[in-house]
Amino acid sequence: MKKFNHQIGVGGLVLSDYEKQLANEVLDSNHLTYGPMTKRFEQEFAKSHKVKHALFMNSGTSALHVALAALKDRHGWSDGDEIIVPAVTFVATANIVLHNNMTPVFVDVEPDTFNIDPQKIEEKITGRTRAIIPVHLLGLPATMQPVLEMAEKYRLEVIEDSAECMFAKYKGGSVGSMGVIGCFSTYLAHFIVTGVGGLATTNNSELAVDMRSLMNHGRDGIYLSATDDKGLNGQTLEEVVARRFSFIHVGHSMRCTELEAAIGVGQLAKSKKIIKRRQEIAATFTQGLEEFENRIQLPTCPPDRTHSFMLYGIVLKKESKRKLVNHLEHLNVETRDLLPLINQPIYKRLYGNLEDKYPVAKHINESGFYIGCHPYMNDEEVGFVIEAFKNFFQNN
Ligand SMILES: Cc1ncc(COP(=O)(O)O)c(C=O)c1O
């Protein structure tokens, strides 16, 4: 089989005229830092996920970082306290626990959804457990109800890592609105793409102020952005002037610009189209690959939730993925390992060989990978990907 004439990537982007128009509006305004476009993006995103607040910042990792930092600070959690994370996820989920001087505790995942297995959480809870971070991997919401029940039973907080999932529903609830804080990413290959970017969502106004402060050097909530003193008069102006250089947290610089927000507003406007095309491509893949189900496990979506198909995950049932992945890559079909964490060199260095304690994660690490199903793929590319699989299974 001849390789495709260009790489069929896990992500893509074709900017629309509307997105370019919004970006040009920002350029014409000569205002690049936090301003009307970011506020608009935040409001529209919050509304679309049925939450009160959305904070746009420079990455999903930053959103997760300030989410945990805000909770740690507000509850007075100690260094070394434990945060439960799935054993299969992007490294950032666990990294931010370490960056907050806390301890990630891994829980194995469900073999069908690849998300945290709620049945395995309780055995990991100790007197120092403070929160659970379920991850909605590849666009599929985690099995949230038992996670939320467990959190309530043990008085734990829940931060949803929804970096890979937007607009999906679980039992009618929007991702990012079920835990106390939800975190999203708009980086390359994500559901919507703004270059770099992330959002933290919450219905808790105090936490929203804390997170806004933490992403802005720990500033006093009275002055969180460079325009917060504009148009003020009298006593209010004097109070803002007195407190605007006051820092109440050890904060970070995690801001984004109006340009990313402009792309975000434009992408949000076409979110229905994006989800439709993603689901259409995923259905075509499944239809084309079903005949090989004795060898590969294809994505599932339990009936109590919807799948936004940020990516299309595949796990080989009884063999290592290497040969198939190399075959696809040689044909110009891009792949990625399905979010290995506990076998990564840095996590092995920190915690030793954990894989035998996490059999599902171990199997996914050995045999799981994903391909793209993004809306910028055309039918020819989708058809080629299916043919590339067929070619492999017919010859191996
Ligand atoms: C599950 C998960 N969490 C967090 C992140 C971090 O997002 P970002 O790359 O925007 O920092 C990602 C990103 O790829 C992710 O897949």
Does the pLDDT at position 243 exceed 90? no
For residues 157-186, give the mean pLDDT: 98
Quickly list DSSP for 177-231: SSSSEEEEE-BTTSSS--BSBEEEEES-HHHHHHHHHHTBTTB-TT--STTTTTT
Per-domain boundaries in the chain: 17-268, 271-395
| Segment 116-121 mean pLDDT | 98
Model confidence over 20-74: pLDDT tens digits? 999 999 999 999 999 999 999 999 999 999 999 999 999 999 999 999 999 999 9
Distances in Å between the Cα of 368 and the Cα atoms of 13, 47, 307 are: 25, 35, 18
Helix (H) or strand (E) segment spanning residue 91:
helix 91-99
Give the binding-site residues of ligand 1, using a 6 Å CB cut-off.
Answer: 59-61, 89-90, 92-93, 135, 161, 163-164, 185, 187, 198
CATH number of the domain at 271-395, please? 3.90.1150.10
Residue 274: name the closest of 339, 184, 197, 190 by CA: 190
Using the mean position of ligand 1's atoms as its centre, give its distance from the Cα of residue 180 in Å.
19
What pLDDT score does 79 carry?
A: 98
Say which amino acid occupies 319: E
Largest CA distance in the chain: 79
Span of 100-114, 198-212, 223-237, 335-349 with lowest mean pLDDT: 223-237
Kind of pairing between the strands at 296-297 and 173-174: unpaired
Higher pLDDT, 228 or 154: 154
Computed over every residue of the chain, the mean pLDDT equals 97
CA distance 310 to 312: 7
Q: Are 86 and 74 in contact (CB under 8 A)?
A: no
Q: How far is the CA of 3 from the centre of ligand 1 (A)?
A: 30
Q: Which two tokens stand for residue 333?
A: 């079909």
CA of 193 from ligand 1 middle (Å) equals 12
* Architecture of the structural domain at 17-268: 3-Layer(aba) Sandwich (3.40)
Reply yes or no on whether the pLDDT at 225 is more than 80. no
Mean pLDDT for the stretch of residues 276-305: 98
Q: Is the pLDDT of residue 351 over 80?
A: yes
